Structure 1
């Protein structure tokens, strides 16, 4: 799942699905679409997209009798805004943080319990925070999320900093992947998510080191893209001061790889490197063995 709510189609990932199913005997792959917000469909907006995703997840979880897969032991993967929607599916609004904001729809508890691993790739994890770094993205969010009569303050409730884990997701493994060559999203978003998950706490914890500087270019970024190219040292220092270079207290069930992928924000999805990572995760019972 990908596309910023306004583009992409599951047909673009047939090659990836074929690779996964043929390289992993017995592995069934489902590609999920959701309705898009386009000039032709301006009335499709929040929460239509995520409800479509929930419908697909519910079908996969409840189709147990004749399913050619283990319907109570599934792996979910989402990219960009697709990662945001999958994270929302496994979390829920924190009442203390979202009193004046939109509430994310709640996925059925029995459906949540069917997913053992959540793979989040080059994701947007907190919309309000992303707008501080990329104000140029506001137009995408506004068209897809804001309904008539609502104000931009609703963005505050649509991200991990306003969410808590749903009870059924407390044991779900989380794998966080980010391409160092992503030109649209910096390491700030995974850092924001890791800090939030560390804040929510866990018995087993570990630390995550943020990779060394990478040259990237994004003219839409107004306040120092994480380690971005052609930025001053003070800008890089500002971001490093906010997010890193290490995030401590990350739950043990959360594994992070910020270096293995290659390619641009969309291009990374069409590389054999990414497909192989997915194949290994699907094949292994232990995520530590897969990464």
Structure 2
């Protein structure tokens, strides 16, 4: 089926909050189309980081892949100390509940298939990507983490001043959330979905420690993990870099090859 490019539609996937929206890029009606789904970062609370952060990647990919559809997800936010709340009072599990709801919306409304999806998360969005997938392939065939947070305890241990936004997002029991994610990985079937972890040496907010730790955890659970550190740009600039596009392209080519073998 040929592709017809259309501009993104902003759609509500829930009704509990104005931020329960996503940008849908649907250029192919084939139920076997591949998908890229983006989850933005921003420490669970930054109102400047929105679903628009995924637009550069998606806009670079769509013209090259006529079988590709895409979506970029907004989610509810926690309070930020420098901005008015504007109803941003979310606390765990509100953020991840929204991501689950958005993915369910895409599966039910647009026939998005897990085995033909690449889930991309940036920073806090990377943490959420593994909350919904755990590297087990339950949400997507491939999970790509960009400049990611993967363990809250180790994050605060390395950056003590980050505890404020972690506690605002997860409450006083935030130290237990890492265990929830790790338990999901423990229970997953071996040989689950592929994982790519991208991290720039120019990241001014996070060291390689998070990505290297997470790669070790996943490999220890039998996951296929690729680490990519030769990328340019600071914490947010990586989102607009050619290296990210190339990484996701490679994974999409792999999905297309698998699809061709099946047919």
Is residue 90 of structure 2 the alignment partner of residue 44 of structure 1?
A: yes
User: Structure 2 CA distance, aligned partners of 1:59 and 1:71?
Assistant: 13
Give me the TM-score of the superposition, normalised by structure 2: 0.71
- The equivalent residue for 2:61 is 20
Does 1:176 find its partner at 2:225?
no
Q: How far has the Cα of 1:181 moved from its partner?
A: 1.0
Are residue 167 (structure 1) and residue 167 (structure 2) matched? no
1:86 offset after TM fit, Å? 0.9
Structure 1: runs of 5 or more not aligned: 93-108, 203-250
* Paired position in structure 2 for 1:283: 253
Pick from 127, 135, 140 the counterpart of residue 115 of structure 1.
140
Of stretches 5-14 and 123-132 in structure 1, the one that deviates more from structure 2 is 5-14
Give yes or no for contact 1:125–1:160 (8 Å, CA) kept in 2.
no
**Structure 2 residue aligned with 1:155:** 175
Measured in 1, the distance between the counterparts of 2:213 and 2:246 equals 27
- Structure 2: stretches of 5+ with no match in the other structure: 1-38, 80-84, 258-263
Q: Give 1:70 shift.
A: 4.8
| Separation of aligned partners in 2, 1:59 and 1:42 | 22
**Residues 1:191 and 1:113: Cα distance change in structure 2 (over 3 Å):** closer
Cα distance change of structure 1 residues 279 and 199 upon mapping to structure 2, 3 Å threshold: closer
Secondary structure in structure 2 of the residue aligned to 1:25: coil
Q: 1:179 to 1:161 in 2, by over 3 A?
A: same
Q: Secondary structure of 2:73's partner? A: coil
CA contact (8 A) 2:126 2:149 kept: yes
**Which residue is equivalent to 2:100?**
54
Conservation of the 8 A alpha-carbon contact between 2:152 and 2:178: yes
Could you tell me whether the CA contact under 8 Å between 2:150 and 2:211 is conserved in 1? yes
Deviation of 1:283 (Å): 2.3
Say if 2:242 is the partner of 1:272: yes
Q: 1:160 to 1:278 in 2, by over 3 A?
A: farther
Q: Which secondary structure state, in structure 1, belongs to the residue aligned with residue 141 of structure 2?
A: strand
Tell me how far apart the structure 1 counterparts of residues 128 and 51 of structure 2 sit (CA, whole Å): 16
Asked if the contact 1:60/1:71 (under 8 Å) is kept, the reply is no
Distance 1:164 1:32, change over 3 A: same
Task: Give CA-to-partner distance per residue, 1:177-224, whole Å, 9 cap, x none.
Answer: 111111111011012112322443x3xxxxxxxxxxxxxxxxxxxxxx
Q: CA deviation at 1:114?
A: 5.2
Kindly indicate whether the alpha-carbon contact (under 8 Å) linking 1:21 and 1:28 is maintained by their aligned counterparts in 2: yes
Residues 81, 269 of structure 1: CA spacing in aligned structure 2 closer, same or farther, 3 A cutoff? same
Alignment of 1:104-253 (within 5 A): 113=138, 115-146=140-171, 151=172, 154-158=174-178, 162-165=182-185, 166-167=187-188, 170-200=191-221, 202=222, 251=223, 253=224
> Normalised by the size of structure 1, how large is the TM-score?
0.65
Distance 1:162 1:40, change over 3 A: same
Paired with 1:10 and 1:161, the residues of 2 have a C-alpha distance of: 24
CA contact (8 A) 1:126 1:160 kept: no
1:172 to partner: Cα distance: 0.7
2:203–2:235 contact (8 Å) kept in structure 1: yes
1:104 counterpart residue number: none
